[in-house]
Each structure stands twice: as C-alpha cells, then as structure tokens.
Amino acid sequence: MVLGGDGEPDPSALRPIAQLVAEGKGFEPAVEAWVSPEVAAQRTAEEFGLRARLSPRLRDREYGDWAGRRFEDLLTSETGIQDWITSPEAAPPGGESADDLILRAGSWLDDLAAGPDGPARRTVVAVVHPTVVAALVLHAIDGPPSGFRRLDIRPLAQVRLTARRAHWSVRL
C-alpha cells in the first residue's frame, strides 16, 4: 500500500464502475454531487456520470513527507509510524492527523446540513477516498477518533448518511 498520491486510476479499477452502472447499481438521482480534488476521485465520478462540484475539504488525508511511500517501508524506517498508527492526534511530518481529517471532513458535512435547504430531504453524492469516508462516518455518529483505524472502507463503497434535525445516522 502506498500512502497518498494523485495519479490516474488504473483502468482496471474503473471496470467495476462500468459494471455497476450497466447493472443499474449506480447512485440514485442526486440533487448535488461533490468530489474530492484527487484525479482518481474525479475520474470515478465521471465514470458514474456525475457532474460533481469539487471541494478541497473532501481531499484525501495529507500524508506530508510520507506521501508516495510504501507503508511497509515506513514500518521499518520511520520511528513515528507506531504513534501514527495508534494515536489519532499523531501526524506524519508535514501531514495531518486523523483528528484533523475528521474535523475537516466533518465541517463539510455540517455545512451541508446547515445549508440553505438545511437538512431537507435531498440526495447528495460525494465521491471521495476511503479515508474521507471513514472520517465522515465517525463525524456523523460522534464516534471517537480512535475508531478511525477500525473502519475498513473498501474502494467503491456506498455509505448513506442521513441528516435529521442536524443529527446524522449511517446506513450500511
């Protein structure tokens, strides 16, 4: 596993999307669609036929000096990696902690609920990296940041968050 990066997605990674769309298992019609700035997320949104607005607050976790490096290599070369694995407030050099990511992504979610339509019933789709999905889920359920490492979000996972009176629930 390589941390971070913003390259083009492997074309084979896009094939499952085409299959989902062909089977009618894409997203339900959305009033709004959002996407993170990473190329892979933008290409994924395009493959789903979404015309998404970009939000920097939905970007992948900032890995700082560790971006582009293999996780396995970091385990043997970086003394701070164990703290980063076990402590949500620890960050890579020049990067961001899980706490920071949860706050950033959570602020986007809060603004969505407090928008001009409030938590009115509408469908909003966000195409983001798995780390951002984990942050949004934890924020939605008021989960502890220590739970960040316990959420294993798979690529192309569809998670539904529902706002009711400024409180969120998660449907899996």
CATH number for 165: 3.40.50.1240
Total count of domains within the chain = 1
Q: How many CB atoms lie within 10 A of CB 127?
A: 24
From the number of C-beta atoms within 10 Å of its C-beta (0-12, 13-18, 19+), residue 79 rates as exposed
- Residue 19 CA to residue 48 CA, distance in Å, equals 10
Confidence of residue 137 (pLDDT cuts 50, 70, 90): very high
Percent of the chain residues topping a pLDDT of 70: 79
Confidence of residue 124 (pLDDT cuts 50, 70, 90): confident
Torsion of CA 74, 79, 81, 84, to 10 degrees: -160
Higher pLDDT, 23 or 48: 48
Q: What's the pLDDT score for residue 150?
A: 94
Q: Has residue 102 been placed in a domain?
A: yes
SS3 65: helix
Q: What's the pLDDT score for residue 4?
A: 75
Q: Has residue 115 been placed in a domain?
A: yes
| Helix or strand holding residue 33 (H, E) | strand 32-35
* Mean pLDDT value across the chain: 86
Q: Has residue 6 been placed in a domain?
A: no
- Please list, in sequence order, all residues whose beta carbon lies within 8 angstroms of the beta carbon of residue 92, skipping any fewer than 6 positions away: 3, 63, 64, 65, 66, 78, 80, 84
Mean pLDDT of 137-141: 95
Q: What is the pLDDT of residues 69-100, one digit of tens each?
A: 999 999 999 989 999 999 999 999 999 999 99
Decide if pLDDT at 114 tops 60: yes
- Residue 153 CA to residue 137 CA, distance in Å, equals 10
Asked whether the beta carbons of 36 and 129 are under 8 A apart, the reply is yes
Decide if pLDDT at 20 tops 80: no
The two structure tokens encoding residue 144: 């502890």
Per the structure, the complete domain to which residue 66 belongs is given by 11-171
Q: Has residue 1 been placed in a domain?
A: no
Q: Has residue 3 been placed in a domain?
A: no
Decide if pLDDT at 117 tops 80: no
Q: Has residue 161 been placed in a domain?
A: yes
Decide if pLDDT at 14 tops 70: no
Asked whether the beta carbons of 43 and 8 are under 8 A apart, the reply is yes
Report pTM: 0.87
Q: How many CB atoms lie within 10 A of CB 69?
A: 17
